[in-house]
């Protein structure tokens, strides 16, 4: 999953460059009711904004597992944190978090890719207008994947049935 997450970062970079080279000089930066543009920006600003955001999120999702296992237990909000952040379980917790964060990153980057295509189509049309049905379907798919991920996260970090065995349950 981590390799796919990294591959998606590369794919989004290529997609962003393609969109940049095929966009008008001025693109809609925000859309309001009915898909009408409400603000504008240069295509360079859009390109660097998206690239910066995607790189920041990639680094954040990559380093969150390390950050969490180094943070004092009382400052971490996760299920059964006392068990999962106990010294003997931290390496397993870090490994599980790395997989889960990469999975969430994949969902987020797929969402960004779809939004980039939807926004590019809107900006290249004769009358700039966002196709709201495409946007709502994409958002619904992302929210569904986020709900699935959240359930998986809570199931992964449930309290083990037999903690005396000293190892957390498998994913």
101-116 confidence digits (pLDDT tens)? 999 999 999 999 999 9
pLDDT digits over 134-155, tens only?
999 999 999 999 999 999 999 9
Cα angle vertex 102, ends 101, 108, to 5°? 90
pLDDT digits (tens, 9 = 90+) for 117-132: 999 999 999 999 999 9
- In this prediction, residue 171 has a pLDDT band, given cuts at 50, 70 and 90, of low
What's the confidence (pLDDT) of residue 159? 85
Could you tell me the pTM of the whole model? 0.89
Domain boundaries, the chain: 2-165
Tens digits of residue pLDDT in 33-76: 999 999 999 999 999 999 999 999 999 999 999 999 999 999 99
Q: Which two tokens stand for residue 44?
A: 């360079």
Residue 149 in contact with residue 107, Cβ under 8 Å? yes
**Dihedral of the alpha carbons of 108, 109, 110, 113, in degrees to the nearest 10:** 130
Residue 8: exposure state from Cβ atoms within 10 A (0-12, 13-18, ≥19):
buried
Model confidence band, residue 166 (pLDDT cutoffs 50, 70, 90): low
Tokens of 170: 């498998």
Q: What secondary structure does DSSP assign to 50-80, as a single string?
A: HHHHHHHHHHHHHHHHHHHHHS-GGG--STT
Q: For position 162, what pLDDT does the model report? A: 62
């Amino acid at each position: 999953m981590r390799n796919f997450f990294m591959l998606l970062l590369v794919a989004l970079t290529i997609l962003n460059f393609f969109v940049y080279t095929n966009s008008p000089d001025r693109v809609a930066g925000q859309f309001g009711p009915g898909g009408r543009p409400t603000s504008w920006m240069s295509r360079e600003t859009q390109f660097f904004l998206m690239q910066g955001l995607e790189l920041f999120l990639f680094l954040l999702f990559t380093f969150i597992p390390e950050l969490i296992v180094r943070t004092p237990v009382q400052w971490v909000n996760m299920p059964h944190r006392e068990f999962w952040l106990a010294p003997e379980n931290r390496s397993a917790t870090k490994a599980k978090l790395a997989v889960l964060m990469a999975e969430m990153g994949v969902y987020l980057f797929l969402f960004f890719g779809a939004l980039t295509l939807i926004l590019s189509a809107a900006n290249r049309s004769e009358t700039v207008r966002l196709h709201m049905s495409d946007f709502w379907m994409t958002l619904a798919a992302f929210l569904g994947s986020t709900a699935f991920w959240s359930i998986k996260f809570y199931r992964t970090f449930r309290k083990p049935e037999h903690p005396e065995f000293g190892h957390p349950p498998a994913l």
